[in-house]
Structure 1
């Protein structure tokens, strides 16, 4: 709801979905991906074909549902997942996956320096930040429109 308010001014807008839908589709794609990878008794060509179908299926679902980052977001999630054990490759592949959004590449600097240890336990702050900041931006827009109407 905060995303829809901030971007469309409506409580529910089904024409464009927030990044959590992209993350959900990415998670489901990873789950299917893993299920196929674990089927060692299947022929390698069949498994490879299914992995390609699953990848494009997840990307297609995100595109058709108009999610934030659409197919590119699901592809980036898969790239991060497949390279999770190789940090150097993950950084290079991640930069390539985000080459369409150059400022995002800067995010790989802290990833490169991550030491593998958990930081401060402030996850609830981050859980709250996304919807709260969108609501604040929406309220600022409403306030600006109200002030503009009052001036006219």
Structure 2
């Protein structure tokens, strides 16, 4: 992997950056499941850094992977698998906590759009206009599906089958972080050769979220999502190197730690 850092000195490779994201993710989810037990707010403040890190790494991973469709398949299996297991756990061990975590769907759609963008660019360069129109059509499909799902869910009597569709069909409006996180992942991919551009984009994106919330940026009790701006530091330190390989660790650790915390909270409540 090429080195794209803006400095010399302390750096983070792909593995180290992912480990940092995983560590901060645990802090965030501990607060999510145990905030009523006195877990401090700063646990979730730290967690705001996680999504930009994983979206950034997904852009890197998509660029370097040897098999893009296999990469997408792994994310999709993670999405469907978590939906099924989460439903089973919530039915078997009902709790005040809601198992709504599933970043796999967000990463899947972000990477899917990266694939569509590459296909569109290739079609334009080769002057294949019908393929170009096809690529644009593929980009529109998830958006149309989002509105269709929202229409179904807004009905007074929601069809039971529509809930099962949600388990297998990730849509931009309904995945974790919604279309904003998908756009952030796309931004990281489009600017992956321009680290400074990525950092500026993340800063502007974070501030936009903070301003649009309607609360003061200093009101960190209610307006803290903009703290994802702090992800510029570890992303700036990224040196473009792969580092140690633990290919499937994240796919296993992410759902495992969420379900462990959910069951632990359930048993404490009992």
Q: TM-score, normalised by structure 2?
A: 0.42
In 1, the alpha carbon distance for the partners of 2:177 and 2:263 equals: 25
Q: Which runs of 5+ in 1 are unaligned?
A: 147-152
Q: 2:172 maps to which residue?
A: 62
Give the C-alpha shift of residue 39 in structure 1: 1.7
1:32 is the counterpart of 2:81: no
In 2, the alpha carbon distance for the partners of 1:58 and 1:96 equals: 26
1:106 is the counterpart of 2:230: yes
Aligned length: 135
1:92 is the counterpart of 2:208: no
Question: Does the 8 Å contact 1:26/1:78 carry over to 2?
Answer: yes
Q: 1:20 maps to which residue?
A: 104
In 2, the alpha carbon distance for the partners of 1:33 and 1:58 equals: 14
Question: Does the 8 Å contact 2:206/2:226 carry over to 1?
Answer: yes
Distance verdict in 2 for CA 1:17–1:57, change over 3 Å: farther
In 1, the alpha carbon distance for the partners of 2:82 and 2:261 equals: 9
Q: 1:141 maps to which residue?
A: 265
Q: 1:126 maps to which residue?
A: 250
SS at match of 1:39: helix
In 1, the alpha carbon distance for the partners of 2:181 and 2:141 equals: 13
Give the C-alpha shift of residue 113 in structure 1: 1.3
1:9 is the counterpart of 2:93: no
When the two chains are superposed, the root-mean-square deviation of aligned CA atoms in Å is: 3.2
Which of residues 117, 123, 139 is equivalent to 2:241?
Answer: 117
Residues 43-97 of structure 1, C-alpha deviations (whole Å, 9 max, x = no match): 7xx87xx49x93x65565310xx11011111101110110001000011112223
In 1, the alpha carbon distance for the partners of 2:106 and 2:195 equals: 23
Q: TM-score, normalised by structure 1?
A: 0.70
